Amino acid sequence: MKKIILSAAILFLAASSQAQLGGLVDKATKTATAAGFDVNKLTSGIMGKLGPTLKLSSAQQTQVTDIVSGFLTKKSDIVPLAASNPTEYAKKQSGLFSGLQSKLGGVLAKDQMSKFMGMKPASATKSDPLSALFF
C-alpha cells in the first residue's frame, strides 16, 4: 500500500513539474506575441523582402528562411528585456545579430550580403519587418 501511495505521489509531482514548465514556455510565447513578435509572421514578411531584393536562388531561399526563423526564435526569448533591461537587450541582440551575419555569410554571395546590410532600416518600426532583424 505504501508503494502505491509513494508511486502516486511521485507521479503527481512529475506531472505537476511538467505542467509548470509548459506554463513557462506558454508564458514566454504569449509575452513575445503580445509584444508583436510572431516568429512565423515576421519570417514570412522578412523573406518577402529579402527574396526579391537579394535575388535568392531556391536553395538560398530555403537556407535563409531557416536561418532567419532560427534567429527570430532565439530573439523571442530576449524581447521582454527590451522594456525591462534595454542595456542587456542591446547586448544580447548584438550577439544574436553577429551570429545571423555569420550564418548568412556562409549562404549569400558577397554582393548579396552587402545588399542585405544596406537594407537596414533607419530606425526600428513595427511596419518594417526587417526591424526585427536589425533592432
Taking only the tens place, the pLDDT of each residue in 51-81 is: 999 999 999 999 999 999 999 999 999 999 9
The domain containing residue 77 runs over which residues? Answer: 37-134
Cα separation, 56 vs 62, whole angstroms: 9
Same domain, 98 and 67: yes
- pLDDT for res 126: 87
42/18 same-domain check: no
pLDDT tens digits along 18-41: 555 455 444 444 444 445 689 999
The pLDDT > 90 percentage for the chain reads 70
Nearest residue to 99 via CA among 123, 130, 67 = 67
Is there a single domain that holds both residue 25 and residue 13? yes
- In a shared domain, residues 74 and 126: yes
Query: Is this model's pTM higher than 0.85 or not?
Result: no
| Model pLDDT, residue 127 | 87
Same domain for 64 and 117, yes or no, is: yes
Count the domains in the chain.
2
